[in-house]
Structure 1
Amino acid sequence: MLAIGACSAPAPPTFDLSAPRDFGRAAALGGGQLAVSEPLTVQVFDSERIIVKSSSGEVSYLSGAQWADRLPKLVQTRLIQAFENGSRLGRVGRPGDGVIADYTLGTEIRRFEVESGTGEAVVEITARLIGATTGRVASARIFVARAPVAHIDGPEAARALDEALSSVLVQIVRWMPSRVPGAGNS
């Protein structure tokens, strides 16, 4: 009976990320089609755990909090939704979703953490626009955003990381149209 009780411990609070809806100016709807790959990342970010990094560089997981899914999958989903919300492309989706892509957007999560020393959430994502027929990188850029964290706990860390991610996603959506033929101007 004790073993059964131990297995039914409540799950830690679960947090989700959001896709931005406000891009600051009217978006041009274009005809370009884009496939958004799942972001690459190192093992420490490829989980549901929320990362806290100390000023000495030590990485730990925030206890009592988790993401709604693996971080790369959440970021991919919110990136696709950001493009849909910004009406920047004719069609956007995952590879294999039936999108006949002109380009693939390859991304890498370099940082997605709360810095305990500075009290900031930091999101850093690289983006590479890759020609679907050539496989060549047409354009690449690093996007970074920070947001203050009042207290390093689950709700506050998730809020600040969501704010920083939203800023990065807006930057990526604004950057994209001038790179994809038929997507309009930014």
Structure 2
Amino acid sequence: MTAQIYVPQLIQPSLDGLLKRYPEGRRRQRMEPFYRNTAAEIMRFVQPISLYDELFAHDAPHLFAWTAPTTVSFYLAVCTLGAELDTEMQRLVENDMAGAAILSEVALTLITAFTRDLHGAIRQQTAQHNQKAGPAYRPGLGRWPLELQRTIFSLLPTEQIGVQLTQELLMLPAFSTSLIIPVRNL
């Protein structure tokens, strides 16, 4: 299989999770407009795109060491919100730290929703082949070592979507993430 591009239908992120830390009252009344304005503004800067591919044991045998014995293949994916968001974040860091913090929170909510959307699309795709896609894992979280980033970037042509991996294993643009999704037969 050749790596596929996935562009989600962009929707404004739900702010419920971010706003729940502010109980009803004056502080919530002060903060909620900032979050709502930032959520509306962020839509001008994001260019969500992802790249994913299904791989088998012969493609990356060392990755299978991290999966369950029932795994028959896995999907690797890299998702990004694009470089324009990084530029806007840098501008805010220099001029408005509070605005930068809120932008970062909203962007993280958006990239999380994006990865869930991609994961759902992969689940639908695998279900058509009588298979089940497992949970989406991220290198650097849980038992998945961060060094697996190098493997993902060596197997996917991430330059097609403008994502690079630094020597320190950070992705650029900053609001990018990678996924490993194991697949098993039903």
TM-score by length of 2: 0.28
**Higher share in strand:** 1
TM-score by length of 1: 0.28
